[in-house]
Amino acid sequence: MEKRAVTFASVLQNPIYKNRDMIYSLVPKTGLLHRTEQKNELIMELAPILMNSAVSCVFMYGNPGTGKTSVITELLDELTDEANKRDVNMQQAYVNCSENRTETTILIDILSQLNPKRIYPRVGWTRAKALTEFKKVSNDLNTNIIVVLDEVDYALKESGDDVLYRLSRINERLKSNISTILISNDVRVADYIKPKTQSTLGRVKVIFSAYTAEELYDIVKDRAKNAFNKDVVSDPVMQKIAEIEAARGGDARRVLEMLDSCAKIAISRNSKKITLDLVDEAEKTLEKDTILSVVASLTKHQKLLFLAMIQSTKKQLNGGKVNLLYREVCEKQNVSPLSVRSVRTFIVNLSELGLISSEVTWLRDLRKKSRAISLNLDAATRKKLRKVIRDSI
Residues 6+ apart with CB under 8 A from 13: none
What pLDDT score does 367 carry?
A: 57
Q: Name the phi and psi angles at 201, rounded to 5.
A: -85, 160
Residues 6+ apart with CB under 8 A from 11: 267
Q: Residue 127 and residue 132: Cα distance in Å, rounded?
A: 9
- CA angle at 184 for the pair 242 and 252, rounded to the nearest 5°: 10
Q: At residue 380, does pLDDT exceed 80?
A: no
What pLDDT score does 21 carry?
A: 92
Q: Which of 28, 63, 21 is nearest to 260 (CA)?
A: 21
Output DSSP code: residue 2: P
Average pLDDT over residues 243-265: 92
Fold topology of 8-24+211-291: Helicase, Ruva Protein; domain 3 (1.10.8)
3-state secondary structure of 1: coil
Is beta strand 204-208 parallel, antiparallel or unpaired with respect to 316-318? unpaired
How sure is the predictor about 202, in pLDDT bands with cuts at 50, 70 and 90? low
How sure is the predictor about 364, in pLDDT bands with cuts at 50, 70 and 90? low
The more confident residue out of 156 and 77 is 77
The more confident residue out of 242 and 269 is 242
Please tell me the number of Cα atoms within 13 Å of 142 on its side-chain side.
Answer: 1
How sure is the predictor about 369, in pLDDT bands with cuts at 50, 70 and 90? low
3-state secondary structure 268-325: HCCCCCECHHHHHHHHHHHHHHHHHHHHHCCCHHHHHHHHHHHHCCCCEEEHHHHHHH
Q: Residue 30 and residue 37: Cα distance in Å, rounded?
A: 17
How sure is the predictor about 381, in pLDDT bands with cuts at 50, 70 and 90? confident
Is beta strand 357-363 parallel, antiparallel or unpaired with respect to 368-374? antiparallel
How sure is the predictor about 2, in pLDDT bands with cuts at 50, 70 and 90? low
pLDDT per residue over 89-107, tens digit each? 999 999 998 778 889 889 9
What pLDDT score does 37 carry?
A: 96
Q: At residue 140, does pLDDT exceed 90?
A: yes
pLDDT per residue over 279-320, tens digit each? 988 988 887 777 888 888 899 999 999 999 999 988 888 888
Please tell me the number of Cα atoms within 13 Å of 111 on its side-chain side.
Answer: 24
Q: Is the pTM of this model over 0.85?
A: no
Within this chain, domains 36-208 and 298-392 share the same CATH topology: no
Q: Where are the alpha helices (DSSP H) in 88-234?
A: 103-114, 127-141, 152-159, 162-169, 195-198, 213-227
373 contacts 347 by C-beta, under 8 angstroms: yes
What pLDDT score does 368 carry?
A: 58
CATH of domain 298-392: 1.10.10.10
The fraction of the chain above a pLDDT of 70, given in percent, is 96
Q: What are the boundaries of each domain within the chain? A: 8-24+211-291, 36-208, 298-392
pLDDT per residue over 38-95, tens digit each? 999 999 999 999 999 998 889 999 998 999 999 999 999 999 999 999 999 999 999 9
- Highest average pLDDT, of 343-352, 360-369, 383-392, comes from 343-352
Q: Which CATH superfamily is domain 36-208 in?
A: P-loop containing nucleotide triphosphate hydrolases (3.40.50.300)
Average pLDDT over residues 118-146: 92
Question: Cα 325 from chain centroid?
Answer: 31
The residues pairing with 206 across neighbouring beta strands, listed in sequence order, are 60
